Amino acid sequence: MRPRAPRGVLPGALGLALCCLCGALGPWRSGDHGWKKLIMVHHWPTTVCKEIENACSDPPDYWTIHGLWKHEWEKHGTCAAQLDVLNSQKKYFGKSLDLYKELSLNSMLQKLGIKPSINYYQISDIKDALASVYGVIPKVQCLPPRQGEEVQTIGQIELCLTKDLQLRNCTEHGEPRSRRWGDAWPARATAEGPGLEVCEDGPAFYPPPKETNH
Ligand SMILES: *[C@@H]1O[C@H](CO)[C@@H](O)[C@H](O)[C@H]1NC(C)=O
């Protein structure tokens, strides 16, 4: 896929995260178990640096796993503990790394021709392209445009899994396509960093890693 023609030019952690939606609120919550999907959360480091307003030098030019491990385990591991395949830190992080490799988001994006660019992508094009390779609908999160910016910036790509670790749609019947901060969007309490929201349909910036000027 090639980015659309420029309509303007913009200036851009391992997180594990096999997050499960502990205590998630919402109509898609499953019975008494409280959660029914796992989320593999990929971060785009250049956007993370921007989000936390840290002028990281030479951020990785590949998608990493969201989060800090100890924190992720404390925050999400307790619900993962309900699953035999994930019920220890070793299994939880080991499985996350296995999934990260199996899903190989970086090479998929490369094959799809989705590369960091000063041109913009349409969010729907990216979602459709990912859905075509994974067979399920991902969730893409963005930083909303800041002052002086025209478009949102892509920050996270989530792929959702069932408790059996099979890929599944991140959205489901009856679930709104997009929820804003302040609503009971369950991922807010789990996977999202400060400032990230479900991307709006429309153009988005996928920022190349910043050149560092020494
Ligand atoms: C995933 O979403 C697509 C598009 O809405 C739908 O056609 C498909 O049936 C869904 N798959 C599952 C397993 O719900």
DSSP per residue, 162-176: -TTS-EE-SS-TTS-
Q: Tell which one of 137, 159, 171 to mutate to probe ligand 1, the residue whose CB is within 8 A of the most ligand atoms.
A: 137
Domain locations along the chain: 18-205
- Rounded-to-integer distance, Cα 135 and Cα 45, Å: 26
Which of 79, 59, 9 has its CA nearest to residue 211? 59
Instruction: Provide the pLDDT for residue 68.
Output: 62
pLDDT at 193 over 50: no
pLDDT at 199 over 60: yes
pTM: 0.76
Q: What does the block give as tokens for 33?
A: 């178990």
Which of 178, 101, 190 has its CA nearest to residue 139? 178
- 128-185 residue pLDDT tens: 999 999 999 999 999 999 888 999 999 999 999 888 889 999 986 545 444 443 333 4
- From atom 11 of ligand 1, which residue's Cα is the shortest distance away? 169
- Rounded-to-integer distance, Cα 47 and Cα 45, Å: 5
Instruction: Provide the pLDDT for residue 67.
Output: 66
Instruction: Provide the pLDDT for residue 151.
Output: 95
Instruction: Provide the pLDDT for residue 57.
Output: 79
Please name the CATH architecture into which domain 18-205 falls. Answer: Alpha-Beta Complex (3.90)
- Please tell me which residue in 42, 43, 51, 66 is annotated as part of the active site: 66
Maximum mean pLDDT: which of 17-26, 61-70, 178-187, 188-197 = 61-70
Greater model confidence, 59 or 184: 59
